[in-house]
Amino acid sequence: MVFIADYGAGNLRSVLKAFDYIGVKAIVSSDPAKLAGYKKVILPGVGAFGSATESLNASGFTGALLEHVDKGGQLLGICLGMQLLLTDSEEMGAHKGLDLIPGRVLRFRSETDKIPQIGWNSVDQQKESTLFRGIEDHSFFYFVHSYYCDPLCTDDVAATTWFAGKNFCSAIEKNGIFAVQFHPEKSSDAGLQVLKNFAGC
């Protein structure tokens, strides 16, 4: 069973439908007290970093998520949910994240590529990763974002993607903490396999 955190800033229903499609039981809940009963938690998200952290704090999910990871639970951040795992973000000011993955969230800057990145792009695996088991390297996934994660430790980077003149971190894996910048629930068979891999790890 997978717990999908509803903190007021997520593409919750599409993620829930994706788990239903692959035959994995999942629930959406806005009650952080229920999170303790689950080994696997999804932190989805669309929107702005600052307002999302405010929602996490106000809802009580910040403490619940940190405790979940501290006790060895597994966590998958999706899109904005990935960015929230880092130390801080420069989106519309300076905002503190969960600091589960040391690093910063930065804005793409390019004179040639249109920002935000919207559409399909290839994901290049950087190490053996639970998330990408059974998925060919350089497979395409669906992205929608203007900011990217820049982890301090390269060992935390599971995959990278080329956009706006740089190879940015598009997936993270570290001690039960997983994250993807793309939307697996919108990424056809490869994306569904990512969700299967997380649910089965």
Active site residues: 79, 183, 185
Residue of 123, 142, 35 lying closest to 79 (CA atoms): 142
- Could you give the CA distance from residue 193 to residue 180 in angstroms, rounded to a whole number? 13
Q: How far is CA 82 from CA 44, 88, 110, 113, 170, in A?
A: 8, 12, 22, 23, 9
Q: How far is CA 3 from CA 18, 36, 51, 74, 158, in A?
A: 13, 10, 22, 10, 23
User: Which ranges of the chain does DSSP label H, i.e. alpha helix?
Assistant: 12-21, 49-59, 61-70, 80-83, 188-200
* Helix, strand or coil, per DSSP, at residue 126: coil
Task: Return left, alpha or beta for 12; rule: phi > 0 is left, psi -120 to 50 is alpha, else beta.
Answer: alpha
